[in-house]
Structure 1
Amino acid sequence: MLPTRLEIIPTRDIVPAVLAHVPAGTTLTVTCLPHHGINRTLEAAAALAGHGYTVVPHLAARLVASRGELARILRICTASGITEVFAIGGDGAAPAGPYPSSEALVRDLAELGGGTLKIGVAGYPEGHPSISGPQLLESLLAKQELASHVVTQMCFAATAIAGYMDGLRNEGVLLPVWAGVAGSVPRAKLLQLAAKIGVGSSLRFIAGKGELGRKLLGGSRYQPAQLVAELETQPLPPAGIHLYSFNNLDPQLRQQAAASRR
């Protein structure tokens, strides 16, 4: 079984929800959204790290106001025993400081972290709504000497993820790739999210797979088990599964994360 991480959103009630439903020792990544801000991410990450979870806070470049603030963020991480972060550009309309992209952020993270900090970066199997394919590749090539791994945007077709991984290797990006997979989520919400972030191609792919497509997208909820099984049997599977939980910490997600740690 591939190792699995759960991505959570730092809502006000997320810490008690995790404590109630997710085994200690599970690796959790904590999102960083414009309407929450970095401090909410850090508060949740520090609290969960204190309860025995391995925590990876997301750091959105456009929300960091200065290099000094970045140093403060890393001091909080160090004090909490956090040794890994995930660097993204973020959705802010304009940068709050000197980091318009994750590339600039990664360089300062690596320097301020003294070479001991693991840094994950984002990958896009189906492209990015506002960044061209050549730009995405150029950025990954520039970051890979400082980064530890790539986490993909959620995708719904194992072949698309495998093809993306092959493409990266052919272009010289040799970082381990964690496959971003949607967890159990209401079908209507999933379709809305897919349209927003530009992952419709793989949804259309599975929708056209007859009985399997109806099984995956039919009913009221999407379930990731079939996609995870297909990823596990690829000739070169991903390094692990990055499960977008949408804060739905149901038993299936908990069991998968717990089993992957054995």
Structure 2
Amino acid sequence: MQPWALISPASRGIGLHLARHLLQNTKLPIVTTARTDLDQAKEQILNGLHDVDEKRVHILKLDVLDESTIQDAASACSDLFPKKEHYLHLSYAVPGILFPEKSPQQIDYDDALLTFRTNTLGPMMMLKHFSPFLPRKSTQLAQDPSLPKTAVWATMSARVGSITDNQLGGWYSYRASKAAVNQVTKTFDNHLRTQSGEKAMAISLHPGTVKTDFSKEFWGGVKEGKLFSPEFSAGKLYEVVVDRTLDHRGKCFDWKGEEVPP
């Protein structure tokens, strides 16, 4: 069976650099997604990677706020990678949005709803449509040191999604959406135990504070040495996933590979 990878979205930030990192460090064909400007997104992914075969990169339209685009992207993947010959070995679902409410009075209903739709429901709908591509118990996995030993579905979470670790408060909708991501991850992993056995697992990831437009408002408050470039973060999140074992399934890990408590 031939493995492939999924990174969504990959038009900018961590997703873009995850795609670039996988192209340089694995042999996998990679499905990437963007909401708009697909040609431009593919050009950014391949920019400067002269030794990479551009045929390894497939760019599909996908908007986590529109389930029909998720379904259409999954249908396109069925054509690209027929299930009788291929399986999804490595997936990063990394959509994210943040409205940093400092007090309850700053909570805006529409902003909070958009936060949950993007951060939680988006990845949930992705696993609905893409989980059939993950290996079954009978699937013969590829043996490749550049890949995790078992297929991994990784969803972007955050340390502030940890209820145990919450000492500061604030960020109500973002914290709650990421705590929900961790619950979705655990629940999905329970499903994979039945569907895939030891051939696939789900985890969530905390990338640290990364120097992207997403976190630009908070760069000034980050301790020295704790503000990471997206290239650094992508490399670390790749290492974390490759190093996971079945003992780690259903849990959340930071960029150092340390568990973030629920």
TM tier, smaller: 0.3 to 0.5
**TM-score with structure 1 length normalisation?**
0.40
